[in-house]
Structure 1
Amino acid sequence: MSDQTTPSEPAALYEKRGNVALITLNRPRALNAVNGALATAVGNHLEAANNDDDVRVVVITGAGRAFCAGADLKALAAGEDTSAEGHPEWGFAGYVQHWSAKPTIAAVNGFALGGGTELVLASDLAVVDEEAKLGLPEVKRGLFAAAGGVIRMQQQIPRKVALELALTGEPITAAQGKELGLVNRVAPAGTALEVALELAEIIAANAPVAVRESKAMIHRTANSPDWEDAAWDANRNALKVVFTSEDAMEGPRAFAEKRQPVWKGR
């Protein structure tokens, strides 16, 4: 077996901090490389967060000095299934094709080339340690970024830049990622999780229904012309959901009463 965790050391950890769920990849000795156990644990934890009304934001990070080193090549060489048990549709790490209505934030604490970058691309927001690097080096090994890397990279940064990254396999720094719009915040060394949790708390303080529908609309219409009927139909549907919610009444009421709103998430 290639797994470098023991039965007492789960491949991924789950913790709730107020309204924020924290998922930690927990194979530090393997640089959090993804095997079946890790993918299953991450997928199950994300599903738990999705189904918990108290959770408003999800943060994913890595234990040790790496965020994620990609697929566990030893597991693959041994013929092991590295997908989430019972849920191959969740994709790489049980995450990259696993939709969450809650905002997701990648807290990139270290090494994140290849599959680690694909986890970043699959997240809504990214906070990256100033010393970490992002990139898709798969072509240097005769492979390609099949866990969404070549799909999402060109959706999130200029296409010619995406092509250069995908075709050369060369990495970029956190600062370069921020300049390109791939990274939201560059964190001082060793503070990526702290900064990500601060960002999560800002989001979690907002109305859950409004946040959920805002995220869904942005993703749903990302590649739609702003005059397309389908985009405006989706906008009207989201408007109805948000403006008929209890939170939509609570927000203005709290403002008028000069107090903090108490969100119910409905």
Structure 2
Amino acid sequence: MSLQMPETFKYEKRGKIAIMTVNRPDAMNAFTEEMLSAMDAAFEDFQKDDDLWVAILTGAGDKSFCSGMDLGEAIPKLNAGEQMGYEDHTKRPFSDVFKPIITAVNGFCIAGGMEFMQGTDIRIAAEHATFGLGEVRFGLVPAGGTHVRLPRQIPWAVAMELLLTGENLDAKRAYDIGLINKIVPKEELMEEAMKLAEKICMNSPLAVRTAKEIAVRQASLEAGFVLEKALAARVFGSHDAQEGPKAFMERRKPNFTGK
């Protein structure tokens, strides 16, 4: 029985490969709550389907892989002092998915989009891809696992530069620091991702899943996720967390108070 997906999130099965596409290019592939629910359902189905061995996560169009949460939905939550993210404080995007996930990054991979990418295993990027975590510029923090994952995936100093300045990296810099595996011309992005998925599918699925599960479980990230959730709450409940996104929407400089 096939899942009913909204138009904004596509879930396709090609042989042993699942292709998941954030499909909201007119809004830079910003995520709504409906899309998050659809992605969760798609990955749950992917996990349970023994005929699916590898997933590819990408975005529609060539401007943006994902630009994070839709501010139209997020601002009311921030005004109410609510913290966005997983209800289970020990989980983050794909932290309990033990089948391989490849990300095909086509354009902006920022904020929540970059947090999704950090939960994947192998990353292919188009030449024009851009990576960043601009949350501090808007009075927020990237509380989707970044504080725990990023310093383990790239050098500490570079992770802190991204977290504290909110500035972006181009594809070459991302490759040089090991954040992504390969850079290709944009017209070859999905072809390259499929080739890599097919190469993985040549191996024993049990061995592949077990190799990933060991790597994920031995990292023991859950305690860090709980700490991130707890400490981030003081930011999401602050005046600055309301002021930053509001200023962005009004196209003005934010007036931060540190409160």
| TM-score (normalizing by structure 1) | 0.74
Alpha-carbon distance between aligned partners in 1 of 2:105 and 2:208, rounded to the nearest angstrom? 23
**Cα offset for 1:121?**
0.6
**Cα offset for 1:191?**
2.6
SS in 1 for 2:213: helix
SS in 2 for 1:193: helix
Query: Which of 34, 37, 40 is equivalent to 1:37?
Result: 34
The equivalences for 1:82-231 within 5 A come to 88-89=87-88, 96-222=93-219
Q: Does 1:22 align with 2:57?
A: no
**Cα offset for 1:88?**
3.9
Letter in 1 for 2:192: V
Letter in 1 for 2:177: L
Aligned to 1:70: 68
- Do the aligned partners of residues 205 and 26 (structure 1) sit closer, same or farther apart at CA in structure 2, a change above 3 Å counting? same
Alpha-carbon distance between aligned partners in 1 of 2:165 and 2:193, rounded to the nearest angstrom? 30
Letter in 1 for 2:197: A
Alpha-carbon distance between aligned partners in 2 of 1:188 and 1:165, rounded to the nearest angstrom? 25
Alpha-carbon distance between aligned partners in 1 of 2:126 and 2:89, rounded to the nearest angstrom? 27
- Do the aligned partners of residues 163 and 222 (structure 1) sit closer, same or farther apart at CA in structure 2, a change above 3 Å counting? same
- Do the aligned partners of residues 164 and 74 (structure 1) sit closer, same or farther apart at CA in structure 2, a change above 3 Å counting? same
**Cα offset for 1:66?**
1.3
The answer to whether the 8 A contact 2:94-2:120 is kept is no
| TM-score (normalizing by structure 2) | 0.75
SS in 1 for 2:7: coil
Alpha-carbon distance between aligned partners in 1 of 2:166 and 2:134, rounded to the nearest angstrom? 4
The answer to whether the 8 A contact 1:110-1:131 is kept is yes
Q: Does 1:61 align with 2:58?
A: yes
**Cα offset for 1:190?**
3.2
Letter in 2 for 1:49: F
**Cα offset for 1:147?**
1.0
Letter in 2 for 1:76: A
Larger CA Rg, structure 1 vs 2: 1
SS in 2 for 1:37: helix
Instruction: Pick which of 71-80 and 27-36 moved more.
Output: 71-80
SS in 2 for 1:145: coil
* TM superposition outliers: structure 1 runs of 4+ over 3 Å: 78-84, 87-92
The answer to whether the 8 A contact 1:106-1:119 is kept is no
SS in 2 for 1:154: helix
SS in 1 for 2:66: coil
Q: CA RMSD in A?
A: 2.7
- Matched-pair identity in %: 38
Letter in 2 for 1:181: G
Question: Unaligned regions of 5+ residues in structure 1, if any?
Answer: 1-6, 225-266
SS in 2 for 1:206: coil
The answer to whether the 8 A contact 1:39-1:83 is kept is no
**Cα offset for 1:101?**
1.6
The answer to whether the 8 A contact 1:40-1:83 is kept is no
Alpha-carbon distance between aligned partners in 2 of 1:28 and 1:198, rounded to the nearest angstrom? 25
SS in 1 for 2:65: coil
Aligned to 2:10: 13
